[in-house]
Structure 1
Amino acid sequence: MNEYTLAITLVVFASFFQGTFGLGMKNIAPLKWEAWWVIQSLVAMIIVPVAWALFVIPDLFEIIQQTENFTLFISAFYGLLWGIGGILFGISVEKTGISITYGIVMGLAASVGCIIPLFQIEGAFAQPSFPIIVCGVVLLLVGVTITAIAGVKRDQLKEQNSTANKSIKIGVLIAVASGILSAFLNVGFIKAGPVAKLAVEAYNTSTQNASLASWVVVLVGGFVMNGGYALFLLIKNNSWSSFKVKNSKKAYFWSVLTGVFWFSALGVYGQGAALMGDLGPVIGWPILLGLALIISNIWAYRAGEWKDAHKPFKILLTGLAVLIGAICLLGYANY
C-alpha cells in the first residue's frame, strides 16, 4: 500500500468514528446533560488524546514546552472557538435530531474548514488542483443542502404542531452557528503544525504519529469551553446529584464511548492528513465530514428516523449520491 492510499484509507476509517459518535447523545438520560457532557469532554479532549500521544511520543510535554508560546495560544484559541460550536452541536441534536444537525454542521464545517486552510497556502490559486477542490467543495455543499432539505421535510411529516416547528427552526439556526465554528477545529490543527514538526525533526517521531501532538494542544482550548460550560451548568443548576442517579450505568458507558469514538475520528484523520502533505487538511477534512454524514444517516435509517417518510428519503438518497461524487472529486484532487 503506497502512502497516499494509506492516507485515504485512514481518513475513510476516521469517518466511521466521526459518523457514529453522535449516537451516544441519544443515551444521556437519566444523567443531566451537563453531567454527561463533562465526562464525555474529559475523555474526548484530555484523557484519550494525551494517553494516545504519550504512547507514541514519550517526550510529548517536552516538545510542547519547546514550542513557541504564540503557536500554542493561537492553536488552543481556535480549539476554544470550535468548543463553542461543539456545545451548540449537542443542543441542536436535541432539537432537530441527528440527520438535520449532521447535515448542516458537517456541510458548513467541511467547506469552511477546507477553504480557510486552502487560502492560507502560498500560491493557492496557482495550485493545479485548485479548480478541482473548489468544484468538490461546491458539490459537497449542494449534497449537504439536499440532505438537510430531506431532513426538514421528514420532520415536517412527523411534527405538525407549531411548537415543534418553532423548535426545529431554532435548532437549524443553532446548527448553522455550530457548523461555522466547528470549522476552526481543522484550522487549529494546521496552526499547531509547528508542534508536530518539532516532534518529527528533533525527536524522530513519524509524521503520522506527530499529528497527535498537535491535537493535544488544540483540544486544551476545546476542553476549556466544553468542560467549563458543563461545569458552569452543574453549579448553576446545582445538578451534582445527577452523578449518583440510579440506573445511570448505560449513560456513563455511552459518555465514555462517545468520547473515545470522537477523538478516534480526529486522531486517525490527523494521521491521514499528515501523510497527504500540505494539502492534507484541505482535502482530507471535507472527505472526513462528507463520509461521516453518509454514515450518520445510515445509523439514523437503522434507528427508524426515516420510517414512513418515503419521499424525503428519496431526496436524502439524492443528496448522499451527490456527496459521494464530491468526495471522489476531492480525493482525485490530491492524487
Structure 2
Amino acid sequence: MSAIISGIGWHIVGAASAASFYAPISKVKSWSWETTWAFAGLFSWILLPWVVTSFLIDDFASFYSVVDSKAFWGMFLFGAMWGVGNVNYGLTMRYLGMSLGIGIAIGVTLVVGTLMPPIINGTFGTLITTTSGQITMGGILVALAGIAIVTYAGHQKEIALGTTAQEFNLKKGLFLAVMCGIFSAGFAFGLEAATPIKDASLALGINPLYAMLPSYGIIMGGGALVNLSYCFIRLAIKPDLSIRNDLSQPMTGLLINGSLAALGGIMWYLQFFFYAWGEASIPEHLSFANWMLHMSGYVLCGGVVGLLLAEWKGVGSRPVRILCIGMLVIVGAANLVGLGMANA
C-alpha cells in the first residue's frame, strides 16, 4: 500500500511540474513564440533525456542494440504522434480558449491514453470483471467528472474576465481538441512500446525508478522532430517572424530569455522524470492507471497554480468555489484509483 501511495505522490509531483512549466516561459520578452518554444524544447526533448540517460548507461551502442527495430520505430513514431498533439494544442486554444480547450483535450487524452493500452493488450475484459479493476475504472470516471467541473469553472472565469478565444469557432475547436487529445495520447502508447528498454534497464541493474528513462530520448525525439519542424518552418516562411530578429537583442536580454525558456523546458521534462518514478511504484497489471493519474493531476495542479498566481482574482467567489469542488473531485478520483490498486 505504501508503494501505491508513493506512486500517486510522484505522479502529483510530476503533474505539478507540468502545470507550472509555462510560468517562466510566459516571462520571455521580445522573442516569438516559435523561438521560445524551440529553445525550451531543446532542453526538454533532446538535451535532458540524453544527459540523464548518459548517467545511467555507459555504453549506448551495446545497450540499444538489444532493442529491435520494431520497438525502436514504435517509440519514435508514437513520440511523433504525441508531437502532432502538441501542435494541435495551441490551435485548440486559439479556437476554444484556454479553459474549454485544455479541459476537452485533456479529457480525451486521459480516456484514450488510459484505456487503449489494455484494450490493445487484450486485458480490458479482465479489468472490468475484477473488483479492483472496477474500482479503478470508477476512479477514471470520477476524474473525468472532476476535469469537466474544473473546465466549467475556467470557462466561467473567462466570461467574468472578458477573456475570449482569438477566433472562437466551436465546431473547428472541438474537432481540434479531440484530435489533440487523441494524438497527445501517443506518449502513453510510446511508453507501452518501451517495455523492451525498461526490461533491458532492469537487467543491467538500473534502479526501477529510472528504468523507463532511457526510452525518453527516443520517444521525445519523435516529438521534437514534429515540434521543431513546425517552429522552424513558421520562422522561415512567415514574414513577421525571424529568429535573427529574436536573437539580435542585447546579450543581457538573450541570457534572461534563454534562462527562462530553458527553465520552462527543464520543468517540462521533470513531469515525465517523476512519471517514471510513479510508474515504477504502481503494480504492473494496473499500469494503465498511470496515465490517468498524470493527466488528472495535471488539471488539479493547474488549478492550484492558477490560484497561487492570482489568475482567479476579480472573478467572484462562485467560479472559485466551482474550481475547488472540481479539484476535490479529482483528489477523490485519485483515492479511488489507489483503493482499487490496494485491492488488486
Q: TM-score, normalised by structure 1?
A: 0.89
Give the secondary-structure state (helix, strand or coil) at the position aligned to 2:29: coil
**Match for residue 309 of structure 1?**
315
| Residue of structure 2 aligned with 1:275, choices 277, 281, 302 | 281
Q: Which runs of 5+ in 2 are unaligned?
A: none
Cα distance between partner residues in 2 of 1:15 and 1:329: 18
**Match for residue 131 of structure 1?**
134
Distance 1:6 1:322, change over 3 A: closer
**Match for residue 145 of structure 2?**
142
1:161-184 alpha-carbon deviations (Å, 9 max, x no partner): 8x7572788666544432222111
- 2:87 is equivalent to residue 87 of structure 1: yes
Question: Do the aligned partners of 2:283 and 2:341 also contact (CA within 8 Å) in 1?
Answer: no
Distance 1:168 1:314, change over 3 A: farther
**Match for residue 248 of structure 2?**
244
- 2:200 is equivalent to residue 198 of structure 1: yes
1:103-146 alpha-carbon deviations (Å, 9 max, x no partner): 33332222221111222344332232221222111111111111
1:245-300 alpha-carbon deviations (Å, 9 max, x no partner): 34344332221011111111101112321332424541222112212212111221
Distance 1:292 1:71, change over 3 A: same
Question: Do the aligned partners of 1:199 and 1:210 also contact (CA within 8 Å) in 2?
Answer: yes
One-letter amino acid of the structure 1 residue matched with residue 196 of structure 2: P
| Residue of structure 1 aligned with 2:259, choices 253, 265, 283 | 253
**Match for residue 318 of structure 1?**
325
Distance 1:198 1:212, change over 3 A: same
Distance 1:173 1:25, change over 3 A: farther
Question: Do the aligned partners of 1:18 and 1:289 also contact (CA within 8 Å) in 2?
Answer: no
One-letter amino acid of the structure 1 residue matched with residue 48 of structure 2: V
**Match for residue 180 of structure 1?**
182
Cα distance between partner residues in 2 of 1:155 and 1:196: 43
Give the secondary-structure state (helix, strand or coil) at the position aligned to 2:212: helix
One-letter amino acid of the structure 2 residue matched with residue 145 of structure 1: A
Question: Do the aligned partners of 2:136 and 2:339 also contact (CA within 8 Å) in 1?
Answer: no
Q: Which runs of 5+ in 1 are unaligned?
A: none
Percent identity between matched residues is 22
1:205-247 alpha-carbon deviations (Å, 9 max, x no partner): 2322220012222111111111111121221135122122343
Give the superposition deviation at 1:70: 1.0
One-letter amino acid of the structure 1 residue matched with residue 114 of structure 2: C
Cα distance between partner residues in 1 of 2:254 and 2:98: 23
One-letter amino acid of the structure 2 residue matched with residue 229 of structure 1: Y
**Match for residue 334 of structure 1?**
341
Distance 1:277 1:254, change over 3 A: same
- 2:234 is equivalent to residue 233 of structure 1: yes
**Match for residue 225 of structure 2?**
224
Give the secondary-structure state (helix, strand or coil) at the position aligned to 1:58: coil
Give the secondary-structure state (helix, strand or coil) at the position aligned to 1:66: coil
Q: TM-score, normalised by structure 2?
A: 0.87
Cα distance between partner residues in 2 of 1:183 and 1:290: 14
**Match for residue 40 of structure 1?**
40
Question: Which segment drifts farther, 68-77 or 116-125?
Answer: 116-125
**Match for residue 30 of structure 1?**
30
Question: Do the aligned partners of 2:94 and 2:167 also contact (CA within 8 Å) in 1?
Answer: no
Distance 1:262 1:76, change over 3 A: same
Distance 1:169 1:144, change over 3 A: farther
Give the superposition deviation at 1:185: 0.7
- 2:47 is equivalent to residue 51 of structure 1: no
Cα distance between partner residues in 2 of 1:301 and 1:313: 9
One-letter amino acid of the structure 1 residue matched with residue 108 of structure 2: L
Distance 1:333 1:22, change over 3 A: farther
Question: Do the aligned partners of 1:99 and 1:151 also contact (CA within 8 Å) in 2?
Answer: yes
**Match for residue 213 of structure 2?**
212
Give the superposition deviation at 1:91: 4.6
